[in-house]
Amino acid sequence: MNQLDQLRQYTTVVADTGSFRQLAQFAPRDATTNPSLILKAVQHSDYVPLLADAVRAKKRRPLERIVDEVLVRFGLEILKLIPGRVSTEVDARLSFDAAATIARARRLVELYERAGIGRERVLIKIAATWEGIQAAKALEHEGIHCNLTLLFAFCQAVACGEAGVTLISPFVGRIHDWHRKAAGAAWDDAAMAGANDPGVQSVARIYTYFKHYGIATQVMGASFRNVGQIAALAGCDLLTISPELLAQLQASDAPLPRALDPQAARMAKVHAITFHEAAFRWALNEDAMATDKLAEGIRIFAADAARLERLIEEVAKTRSIERALQRALRTDLAKLEAQLLAELD
């Protein structure tokens, strides 16, 4: 039995890709769609007609509504290939606006429902800011299930659990990257591998806390850099894994035992904690890594949302999507050049 099949015995495997071909290859249970993955997907000719059709069918509508239509259109195609749920992202630029996040989430769910997809197959992906968590709490009360992303701090996880969020996505690899950069020459790859990896330790702590106190929120480790990190979290509720690492797991028959166990978590010595808004903001502020990576993640997701909007505008104006892609890329390069020049001044 290969390692991917061994992992599936303990953990729900989610594919971190927007490629329909890769979804069919690795047969994950759940998947995701967001501006970043769509931008990557449309670099391949197979996905160009899907974007063009979605845009041109709705091009007289406001831009943000067209973006939602595109996200859902890709999500619907993904749902044809998986038995589980698709996560669909709310615009990251709304990360500090709970009311706007709620409105956008409701619209995404409405689009899925119009297409005949029930709420049980959709997760609304929201950044784990205080405002995002409060928006998710309200949405969960309406029966709209949420996936809280960009989660780097323990306080974010606890607040999500208290809010009754369906699923959280702590980012293993990005936590690893921050600590490795901070350590510089003192970093020892061998000593900090596996269960000693700071990203792995973060997810394991959250998993243990949730299982110890019977918190129903599912934990989905994300953003992996290597198979060792995945192996150290075997048994986590879900793991979202890139196609490259899925292929490595599929190609290996080495033993992959369970690392996280709910029974062991229930027996662990864990102290309960709670966070009101002021305590949450202070705890997050005190965690330099989480503060840095949350802000960085929101900026990256927001930039990709803006890039997708520019691409959609170009597609709506031209018959050639290839030309639209070229124009959008030129715009991105011009903005990057202007930013670099400004930094040099």
Are 70 and 89 a contacting pair, CB within 8 Å? no
User: Which residue type occupies 15?
Assistant: A
Residue 240: beta bridge partners? 14
User: Which residue type occupies 222?
Assistant: A
Q: How far apart are the first and last CA of the chain?
A: 58
Cα distance between residue 87 and residue 124, in whole Å: 6
Phi (first) and psi of residue 219, to 5 degrees: -105, 125
Q: Compute the 3-state secondary structure of the chain and give helix, strand, coil in percent, each to the nearest 5.
A: 60, 10, 25
Q: Identify the active-site residue in 40, 59, 125, 293.
A: 125
C-alpha separations of 234 from 5, 9, 15, 265 in Å: 12, 9, 15, 14
Are 148 and 169 a contacting pair, CB within 8 Å? yes
Q: How many beta carbons lie within 10 A of that of residue 96, not counting itself?
A: 13
Cα distance between residue 131 and residue 128, in whole Å: 8
C-alpha separations of 31 from 74, 89, 219, 248, 300 in Å: 11, 12, 15, 19, 20
Known catalytic membership, residue 181 = no
For residue 156, give every residue at least 6 positions away whose Cβ sits within 8 Å of its Cβ, in sequence order, or none: 128, 133, 148, 168, 280, 284, 290, 294
Nearest to 309, CA basis, from 34, 33, 17, 35: 35
Residues annotated as part of the active site: 125
